[in-house]
């Protein structure tokens, strides 16, 4: 593989080439940095590029490979949403206000995990302010654009995480997902995204949004890369109080087993009536590919989404209360008005949402006694044109911005693992490959 090819290859291929010394890590990083310089002024994916450090780290990886070290991500470039701590860089979380903070003293836990596996950090990525976004629009850093069609949204809030991978700047990125912020940009940019089970991966060293809903995970160019990266990211960390006490879950070695024996169904009802035809075509193509002929209805999905909405608005506003009260002019107007409204939510509503969460979780656990995987569209439609204010779903004209997460919110709400990926076999797949329209798999123990 040439260094030019490495801008399109997945991480598994790149790491294999570096380990076999077909490529050096220095070659790969130089290609990645060149690509960033070439495209970033148009796409707005990166907010900081750590060029000097990346080149130095690449030399160190090459030295370790030459010495025979085992590095599963040898020489693989990566970048992280700018709510991850990077030593020496201020963690902005998409905001203007956090620029006043001192630089981070150390890397986030997951950044350290990737580096220890031989991956090389190239910088931090654009995002919606304080992760309260599905569009990729940011008034402070500029909008992050979809590399397949720059007139369309990259999706958010991990917008740079999607745009950087889809444009060939890096093969893998990390994002956060509170209500869909890994899955939405994965869908809009035609990529693979994993939101693991709540508590599976440490969130230490990242700026929070909604503690009871926050997850971290990867966005990649291939399904096997999700497994490879997920295996590297796992590890106990007492610094995250929400991390579940679960043993290591090997996924890369499970890929060879395929889907034999798995009980897979598609979701009907709410997930069909609110989806555009192109999203349903992607879903049906995926279902046909895995032989999923059974359709199930997930009861009270709309209420689950409503509960996630209330919890998010309230917990997010609580986190930012001092900032929204003292510096409202310094917020992005699209998040400011929601944080202001979030300070006004009665405790009664929030408590009801949390009690409903218990009910919904128990109901879904019962469903998974007879199922292993449920397929849904990730988003109700492909990537929307930038600036879209309203959409029509199921005959209703509704605001676009909050409803992009219509299908993602009901599941992150109860912490279920979800994986989003493009459905290439569907009719009009070419259109979807260009503009995204992922289908999502949902399972209970998939990560």
Partner 1 sequence: MSEIFDAKAYVTHMQALNELTIESDWRPEVEAHITATKKAADLLLSFPLDDTEEAAPVFVP
Query: Catalytic residue numbers?
Result: 81, 157, 181
For residues 100 and 90, what is the distance between their CA atoms, to the nearest angstrom?
A: 8
SS3 at position 361 = helix
Supply 190's token pair.
């035609």
CB of 344 to partner 1, least distance (A): 4
Q: Are 367 and 296 spatial neighbours (Cβ–Cβ below 8 Å)?
A: yes
Between 37 and 355, whose beta carbon lies closer to partner 1?
Answer: 355
For residues 147 and 338, what is the distance between their CA atoms, to the nearest angstrom?
A: 29
For residues 147 and 14, what is the distance between their CA atoms, to the nearest angstrom?
A: 22
CB of 419 to partner 1, least distance (A): 15
- Cis geometry, peptide bond prior to residue 215 (ω within 30 degrees of 0): no
CB of 134 to partner 1, least distance (A): 15
Supply 429's token pair.
């797949």
Q: Are 276 and 381 spatial neighbours (Cβ–Cβ below 8 Å)?
A: yes
CB of 303 to partner 1, least distance (A): 6
Chain residues that interact with partner 1, rule: CB under 8 A: 197-199, 212, 242, 244, 300, 302-303, 306-307, 309-310, 313, 321, 324-325, 328, 333, 336-338, 340-346, 348-349, 351-359, 361, 402, 414-416
Q: Are 84 and 38 spatial neighbours (Cβ–Cβ below 8 Å)?
A: no
Between 111 and 404, whose beta carbon lies closer to partner 1?
Answer: 404
Helices within 21-170 (DSSP H only): 25-43, 51-66, 109-116, 159-166
Supply 49's token pair.
């590029």
CB of 332 to partner 1, least distance (A): 12
Angle between helices 223-233 and 109-116 (to 10 degrees): 110
Between 3 and 197, whose beta carbon lies closer to partner 1?
Answer: 197
CB of 251 to partner 1, least distance (A): 17
For residues 74 and 109, what is the distance between their CA atoms, to the nearest angstrom?
A: 18
Between 123 and 410, whose beta carbon lies closer to partner 1?
Answer: 410
SS3 at position 216 = strand
Between 300 and 372, whose beta carbon lies closer to partner 1?
Answer: 300
For residues 375 and 295, what is the distance between their CA atoms, to the nearest angstrom?
A: 9
Q: What are the DSSP E strand ranges found in 320-394?
A: 373-377, 390-393
Place of tokens 């930012």: 320
CB of 349 to partner 1, least distance (A): 4
For residues 153 and 137, what is the distance between their CA atoms, to the nearest angstrom?
A: 8
Between 60 and 445, whose beta carbon lies closer to partner 1?
Answer: 445
Between 148 and 357, whose beta carbon lies closer to partner 1?
Answer: 357
């Amino acid at each position: 593989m040439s260094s030019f090819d490495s801008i399109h290859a997945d991480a598994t291929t790149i790491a294999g080439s570096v380990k076999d010394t077909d490529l050096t890590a220095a070659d790969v990083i130089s290609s990645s940095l060149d690509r960033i310089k070439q495209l970033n002024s148009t796409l707005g994916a990166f907010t900081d590029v750590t060029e000097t450090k990346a080149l130095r780290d690449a030399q160190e990886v090459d030295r370790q490979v030459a010495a025979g070290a085992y590095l599963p991500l040898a020489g693989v470039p990566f970048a992280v949403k700018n709510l991850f701590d990077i030593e020496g860089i201020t963690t902005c979380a998409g905001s203007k206000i956090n620029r006043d903070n001192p630089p981070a003293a150390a890397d986030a836990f997951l950044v350290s995990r990737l580096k220890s596996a031989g991956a090389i950090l190239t910088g931090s990525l654009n995002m919606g302010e304080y992760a309260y976004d599905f569009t990729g629009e940011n008034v402070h850093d500029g909008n992050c654009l979809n590399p397949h069609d720059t007139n369309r949204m990259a999706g958010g809030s991990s917008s740079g995480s999607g745009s950087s991978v889809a444009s060939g700047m890096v093969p893998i990125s990390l994002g956060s997902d509170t209500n869909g912020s890994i899955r939405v940009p994965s869908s809009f940019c035609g990529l693979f995204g994993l939101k693991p089970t709540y508590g599976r991966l440490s969130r230490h060293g990242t700026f929070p949004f909604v503690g009871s809903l926050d997850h971290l995970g990867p966005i990649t160019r291939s399904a096997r890369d999700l497994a490879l990266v997920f295996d590297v990211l796992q590890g106990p960390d007492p610094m995250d109080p929400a991390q579940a006490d679960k043993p290591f879950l090997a996924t890369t070695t499970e890929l060879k087993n395929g889907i034999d024996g798995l009980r897979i169904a598609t979701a009907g009802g709410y997930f069909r009536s609110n989806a555009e035809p192109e999203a349903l075509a992607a879903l049906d193509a995926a279902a046909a590919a895995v032989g999923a002929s059974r359709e199930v209805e997930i009861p009270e999905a709309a209420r689950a989404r409503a509960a996630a909405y209330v919890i998010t608005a309230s917990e997010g506003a609580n986190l930012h209360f001092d900032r929204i009260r003292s510096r409202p002019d310094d917020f992005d107007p699209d998040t400011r008005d929601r944080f202001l409204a979030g300070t006004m939510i009665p405790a009664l509503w929030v408590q009801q949402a949390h009690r409903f969460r218990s009910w919904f979780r128990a109901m879904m656990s019962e469903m998974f006694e007879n199922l292993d995987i449920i397929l849904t569209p990730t988003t109700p439609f492909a990537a929307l044109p930038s600036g879209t204010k309203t959409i029509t779903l199921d005959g209703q004209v509704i605001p676009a911005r909050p409803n992009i997460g219509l299908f993602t919110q009901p599941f992150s709400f109860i912490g279920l693992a979800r994986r989003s990926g493009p459905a290439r076999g569907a009719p009009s797949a070419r259109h979807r490959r260009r503009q995204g329209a992922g289908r999502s798999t949902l399972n209970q123990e998939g990560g």
